[in-house]
Structure 1
Amino acid sequence: MSGPAALAARLSVAPMMDWTDRHCRVLHRLLSRRTLLYTEMVTAPALVRGGALHLLDFSPREQPVALQLGGSDPEELAQAARLGEQAGYVEINLNCGCPSDRVQSGTFGAVLMRDPGLVAECVAAMGAAVSVDVTVKCRIGVDDQNPEEVLPEFLSRVGAAGVERFTIHARKAWLQGLSPKENRDIPPLDYDLVQRMRGMFGGLHLSVNGGITSLDQAEAFLDAGLDGVMVGRAAYHDPVSILSQADRRIFGDGEDSDPFDVVRQMLPYIDAHLVAGGKLGQVTRHMLGLFAGRPGARQWRRILSEGAHKPGAGTALVEEALGAVMAAA
């Protein structure tokens, strides 16, 4: 567990569908050099059966970056993990936490909390196929399971299959009756249970996820003995508050990043994306929260939201929006 991903896992940004794409990750990397970044979940069948290798595209500038896979067939996951390692990812993560109906129908995601034996088979096959870390992101349980019993058994059996690093979303998932969005908010958080797992499994690297909205919270979890903290929506909607001070405060390395400088550093990236046939909004939609809570934030969001999808929109629009923030400061 001494590789680049394990060191970076002290703070990570959660894999989030439709959000943590490669453009988002480039932005986040400019805000923090050290934080571990994750892809959106990519399904093993899409890579192995569908040949959708474009889903693995990323820029070396995003490193350290981990690939999250969804699946439940050991051999297929092993093949997908191998493709991920060949693409350059420093970690392969298995999703055992997503509660969506589509994921359940594929027999993966949070439903795998019911079958730690199958998860153990999957990660053993993945670990045999690659030399990078194989990790797991899970819930504390699903439906009527008792997390006090389920989570220790899950960590024990999957850990025995070779996984040394787990990220635990400190909520149950309700597979029936709650939407994926409701599953992120309604089931109560049980941070104490995750903390007790830290005491029970001294040989594992355990990160906590769920409901964490500030670096102060992250530091408190680390000070309490957890090995890592994963932040989700807060890192997306207000990336500066989570990431701009992370290198200094969480990793003890480097200076704080400045959102104005980050916007300027994004301009050549945006130009290259447009030259390659991309659209401005594909990048700027991830930048809307850069000035959250600051004077001029509303103008920044308005200019980009209203203008990014117009024909011919380019970096001049971003510079106009940045000028509006500077004028309001």
Structure 2
Amino acid sequence: MPSDALRSAARLSVAPMMEWTDRHCRVFHRQLSREALLYTEMVTAPALVRGGALHLLDHDAAEHPLALQLGGSDPEELAEAARLGEEAGYDEINLNCGCPSDRVQSGTFGAVLMRDPALVARGVAAMRRAVSVPVTVKCRIGVDDQEPAEVLPAFLEAVAEAGATRLIVHARKAWLQGLSPKENRDIPPLDYELVMEMKRRFPELHLSINGGITSLEQARGFLEAGLDGVMVGRAAYHQPWDVLAGADAEIYGADRAPVAPEEAARGMLDYIDAHVASGGKVHQVTRHMLGLFAGRPGARIWRRVLSENATKPGMDSGLVLRALDEMTAARAAA
């Protein structure tokens, strides 16, 4: 994908989320927005390079524009993993410097890398030499007792000089000791103003903001305030229609009406049947579709029909049609 087109796509992106943004989730999200930039779950460089787990790079052509997020800290290993990602067809390679989980810390990657911007810079430089697609970084504003106003600009400067073309900043600290990964998504206070200050200080950098963003209206506000992109996490997963269906028109200016949630559900039928035919299970896809009607009449019935039946033997795309029918009947009877 041309770099200008990718920068445009990055105006709105869906955050990489472990256990959530797998390839089935991304195909579903693509039913709602043609334009938003999608990210994989974090894939560790050692798994690809040492473990040969190239199946972790599998994706559908429909998912593009699509970025691969890598976890790792060894520059040579990151470079080889990035090369494998480019060969697999990804439009961007992103380095995770924000995940606070214990597993990530023990592997010396994720948010712990905020303590070593020089190492991150070496990793970015190695990846830039290995691939022609953009190399980007997702980070926090700091970790533990670091002072974000001091460490964040130094970190951004180091990785930008190493060749990172875009940076996504989660506007919270990560507490590596004392808070769980879940608590790290909510408890540390958000500092949006610091991220805005970084854009003023580094006007040439393409900066996206992440953390606590729940609506397209909020996303538009950040873009209008001067940021280059907005990354939405849990809201895009739990209320996908609210966040993504209007994005093409409202964020990208496309002359395209939002797809109806029912149409988005039907858009998954052929994909589900192909997945089942290849040996997959219906629930592996439909679990990502449970929030499609969030906040709308019949949402509970939709969730119940899918949740209670998707793991039963013999299920195929007919389950989605059944859920739609039962929801529609309940609406008519209300």
Q: TM-score, normalised by structure 1?
A: 0.99
Per the alignment, residue 200 of structure 2 pairs with 199
Q: How far is the alpha carbon of 1:328 from its aligned partner? A: 3.6
Q: What is the alpha-carbon distance in structure 2 between the residues aligned to residue 53 and residue 16 of structure 1?
A: 19
| SS of the residue 1:174 aligns to | coil
Q: What is the alpha-carbon distance in structure 1 between the residues aligned to residue 243 and residue 328 of structure 2?
A: 21
Structure 1 unaligned spans of 5+: none
Per the alignment, residue 24 of structure 1 pairs with 25
Paired residue type of 1:181: K
Q: 1:289 aligns with which of 288, 291, 294?
A: 291
Mapping 1:269-284, distance limit 5 Å:
269-284=271-286
Deviation per residue, 1:296-320 (Å, 9 max, x gap): 0000000000000111112221111
Paired residue type of 1:137: K
Is 1:185–2:186 an aligned residue pair? Answer: yes
Alignment length (residue pairs): 329
Per the alignment, residue 7 of structure 2 pairs with 6
Paired residue type of 2:288: H
| SS of the residue 1:327 aligns to | helix
Q: How far is the alpha carbon of 1:324 from its aligned partner? A: 2.0
Per the alignment, residue 234 of structure 2 pairs with 233
Q: How far is the alpha carbon of 1:255 from its aligned partner? A: 2.2
Q: How far is the alpha carbon of 1:256 from its aligned partner? A: 1.1
Q: TM-score, normalised by structure 2?
A: 0.97
Tell me, yes or no, if the aligned pair for 1:13 and 1:230 is still in contact at 8 Å.
yes
Is 1:213–2:214 an aligned residue pair? Answer: yes
Tell me, yes or no, if the aligned pair for 1:5 and 1:66 is still in contact at 8 Å.
no
Per the alignment, residue 260 of structure 1 pairs with 262
Tell me, yes or no, if the aligned pair for 2:142 and 2:152 is still in contact at 8 Å.
yes
Q: How far is the alpha carbon of 1:164 from its aligned partner? A: 2.1
Paired residue type of 2:140: R
| SS of the residue 1:320 aligns to | helix
Q: What is the alpha-carbon distance in structure 2 between the residues aligned to residue 255 and residue 9 of structure 1?
A: 20
Q: What is the alpha-carbon distance in structure 2 between the residues aligned to residue 176 and residue 101 of structure 1?
A: 9
Tell me, yes or no, if the aligned pair for 1:5 and 1:65 is still in contact at 8 Å.
no
Paired residue type of 1:304: L
Mapping 1:99-118, distance limit 5 Å:
99-118=100-119
Q: What is the alpha-carbon distance in structure 2 between the residues aligned to residue 281 and residue 62 of structure 1?
A: 19
Q: How far is the alpha carbon of 1:88 from its aligned partner? A: 0.3
Q: What is the alpha-carbon distance in structure 2 between the residues aligned to residue 55 and residue 181 of structure 1?
A: 24
Cα RMSD between the aligned structures?
Answer: 0.8
Paired residue type of 1:292: A
Q: What is the alpha-carbon distance in structure 1 between the residues aligned to residue 197 and residue 116 of structure 2?
A: 22
Q: How far is the alpha carbon of 1:194 from its aligned partner? A: 0.2
Paired residue type of 2:294: A
Q: How far is the alpha carbon of 1:258 from its aligned partner? A: 1.2
Per the alignment, residue 306 of structure 1 pairs with 308
| SS of the residue 2:268 aligns to | helix
Q: What is the alpha-carbon distance in structure 2 between the residues aligned to residue 262 and residue 22 of structure 1?
A: 16
Mapping 1:72-221, distance limit 5 Å:
72-221=73-222
Paired residue type of 1:13: V
Q: How far is the alpha carbon of 1:2 from its aligned partner? A: 3.3
Tell me, yes or no, if the aligned pair for 2:3 and 2:134 is still in contact at 8 Å.
no
| SS of the residue 1:295 aligns to | coil
Q: What is the alpha-carbon distance in structure 2 between the residues aligned to residue 61 and residue 23 of structure 1?
A: 11
| SS of the residue 1:285 aligns to | helix
Q: What is the alpha-carbon distance in structure 2 between the residues aligned to residue 79 and residue 243 of structure 1?
A: 33
Q: What is the alpha-carbon distance in structure 2 between the residues aligned to residue 73 and residue 325 of structure 1?
A: 51
Deviation per residue, 1:240-265 (Å, 9 max, x gap): 00000000000001221111111111
Deviation per residue, 1:228-247 (Å, 9 max, x gap): 00000000000000000000
Is 1:248–2:249 an aligned residue pair? Answer: yes
Over 6 Å off, 4+ runs: none
Q: What is the alpha-carbon distance in structure 2 between the residues aligned to residue 178 and residue 95 of structure 1?
A: 19
Q: What is the alpha-carbon distance in structure 2 between the residues aligned to residue 157 and residue 272 of structure 1?
A: 45
Q: What is the alpha-carbon distance in structure 1 between the residues aligned to residue 304 and residue 116 of structure 2?
A: 47
Tell me, yes or no, if the aligned pair for 1:4 and 1:90 is still in contact at 8 Å.
no
